[in-house]
């Protein structure tokens, strides 16, 4: 969440302009009204507390002299009633201010381009040349039809739409991709591999910004009297590891990676990418998370994005890096790079990784801190990125490495993970 002082003490018009660029109309008058009432009630509360203390001392002195204190006691009782009312109202206002703050997205960095949607994103660079095919291109769904290696029909029987069953060599290739990514990030890039819970509590979801604003996009379940959520990404538990912690600055940056199932209701994306594995309710991802000093976070974003790019380059998949505009960034992000991989069947680049610097936005919710040189606790910066989405990587490999007979050549870096297999979905298998 944003620093409350930004909305209370500084000129809110500055924040309003930046947030408007993110598609949010900030109701400045409502915020100012709440703050004005808070200040007024707080002043009156302090006055009542002082009056109560003064009159209480007067009662003690009067009693010592044997004087009648009934009038003073009645006055103190009146102060107590009003004080209770003021304190109750103050709590309501503070809750309203906190609730409002939890609905406000992060402020974009100064170098983030202004824009409304993905059409206003800025291309930074490209790698690789899309392959030229001398035969009719199949999409990943048609390629996976052989021996029902990719089976949406059975998945629909089991769970409903936007689920997939993978079989045989295709399931193994999917697993190989995840193992390959984990090895690259843990061995080559120095991220510590972590195995995290897939079910978390509401506090954990709020810490990274999924709650309260995006509850409709989450899968929830009731365990006894407690509500729990299936994670939409392992960013959630990984980042929350430092919740309510003061991390030793000498250990920073703290870099973590995890391979996990991810679950998203995708409440607002009806009709988009319903065919195949592009947009699923359940998918797998290798996540990258970095917990950093404020002075480190800019470099960490570049390093993290480069780590994700390395995966695509080793797989030989053409991609481009995009700097997202203000209107296309995620709720908690201050700056985001998307990596988009080339999909031959669509003739376009599609997102496969998103790497974001959230600065202190999540850390303020998490109360994740370090001690600065003066020994004073200070908020950390948090970053997260896909390193990459396993299902979409599978889609990209199938389509970019397809052959005329419908078989798919296994990228060289994955052959050791496939037990030496160099081709899948071959005729007769």
Residue ranges of the binding site for L-serine:
233-235, 287, 386
Three-state SS string over 276-337 comes to CCCCCCEEEEEEEEEEECCCCHHHHHHHHHHHHHHHHHHHCCCEEEEECCCCCCCCCCCEEE
Cβ contact 386:130 at 8 Å: no
Residues annotated within the binding site for ATP are 264-266, 351-354
- The three-class DSSP label of residue 151 is strand
Would you list the DSSP string of 356-410?
A: EEEETHHHHHHT-EEE-TTS-EEE-EEEEEEEEEHHHHHHHHHHHTB-TTS-EEP
| Bind-site residues | 233-235, 264-266, 287, 351-354, 386
Are 343 and 319 in contact by the 8 Å Cβ rule? The answer is no
The answer to whether residues 307 and 276 touch, using CB atoms and an 8 Å cutoff, is no
Q: Catalytic amino acids?
A: 264, 279, 351, 354, 392
In DSSP terms, 287 is beta-bridged to: 258, 386
**351/319 Cα distance (integer angstroms):** 9
How many angstroms separate the CA atoms of 74 and 52, rounded? 11
With H, G, I as helix, E, B as strand and everything else as coil, classify residue 72: helix
- HSE-up of 171 (CA within 13 Å, CB side)? 9
């Amino acid at each position: 969440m944003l620093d409350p002082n930004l909305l209370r003490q500084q000129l809110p018009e500055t924040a309003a302009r930046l947030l408007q660029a993110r598609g949010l109309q900030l109701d400045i008058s409502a915020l100012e009204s709440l703050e004005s009432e808070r200040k007024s009630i707080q002043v009156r509360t302090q006055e009542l507390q002082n009056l109560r203390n003064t009159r209480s001392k007067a009662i003690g002195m009067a009693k010592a002299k044997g004087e009648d204190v009934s009038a003073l006691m009645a006055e103190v009782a009146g102060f107590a009633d009003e004080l209770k009312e003021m304190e109750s109202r103050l709590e309501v206002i503070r809750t309203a201010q906190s609730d409002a703050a939890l609905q406000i997205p992060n402020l974009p960095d100064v170098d983030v381009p202004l824009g409304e949607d993905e059409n206003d994103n800025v291309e930074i660079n490209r790698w690789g040349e899309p392959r030229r095919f001398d035969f009719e291109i199949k999409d990943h769904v048609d390629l996976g039809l052989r021996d029902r290696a990719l089976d949406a029909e059975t998945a629909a029987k089991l769970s409903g739409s936007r689920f997939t069953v993978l079989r045989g060599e295709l399931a193994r290739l999917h697993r190989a991709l995840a193992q390959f990514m984990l090895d690259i990030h843990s061995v080559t890039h120095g991220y510590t591999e972590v195995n995290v819970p897939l079910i978390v509590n509401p506090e954990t979801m709020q810490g990274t910004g999924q709650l309260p604003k995006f509850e409709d996009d989450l899968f929830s379940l009731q365990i006894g009297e407690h509500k729990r959520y299936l994670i939409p990404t392992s960013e959630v538990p990984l980042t929350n590891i430092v919740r309510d912690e003061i991390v030793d600055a000498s250990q920073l940056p703290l870099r973590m990676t995890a391979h996990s199932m991810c679950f998203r209701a995708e409440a607002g994306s009806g009709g988009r990418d319903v065919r195949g594995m592009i947009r699923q309710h359940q998918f797998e991802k290798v996540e990258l998370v970095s917990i950093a000093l404020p002075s480190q976070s800019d470099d960490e974003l570049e390093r993290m994005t480069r780590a994700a790019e390395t995966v695509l380059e080793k797989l030989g998949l053409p991609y481009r890096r995009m700097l997202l505009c203000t209107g296309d960034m995620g709720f908690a992000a201050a700056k985001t790079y998307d990596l988009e991989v080339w999909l031959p069947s669509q003739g376009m680049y599609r997102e496969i990784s998103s790497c974001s610097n959230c600065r202190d936005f999540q850390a303020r919710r998490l109360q994740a801190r370090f001690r600065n040189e003066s020994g004073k606790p200070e908020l950390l910066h948090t970053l997260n990125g896909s390193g990459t989405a396993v299902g979409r990587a599978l889609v990209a490999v199938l389509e970019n490495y397809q052959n005329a007979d419908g078989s798919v050549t296994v990228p060289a870096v994955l052959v050791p993970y496939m037990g030496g297999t160099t081709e899948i979905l071959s005729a007769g298998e």
